[in-house]
Amino acid sequence: MQQAGRVSDQTAFFLNGVVVEAGSTKEIFFNPREERTEAHISGRFG
């Protein structure tokens, strides 16, 4: 997860083949809009 944050400019979070959220890496890792994105990047599931 940290590696993805370090090397990318844009990030998309896929869940079961569906894009839940996409945007700049900064936004996704610092202030995601979707609760499921937040739960995943924070290690609460997956």
Determine which helix (DSSP H) or strand (DSSP E) holds 10, and give its type and residue range. strand 10-15
Q: Considering the rule CB under 8 A, would residue 11 count as an interface residue with another protein?
A: no
Burial of 45 (0-12, 13-18, 19+ CB in 10 A): exposed
Measured CA to CA, the distance from residue 5 to residue 17 in angstroms comes to 21
Residue 45 touches another protein, criterion: CB under 8 A: yes
Taking the least distance from each CB to another protein, the nearer of 2 and 16 is: 2
Least spacing, CB of residue 39 vs another protein, in Å:
9
Footprint on this chain of another protein (rule: CB under 8 A): 1-2, 5, 29-32, 38, 41-45
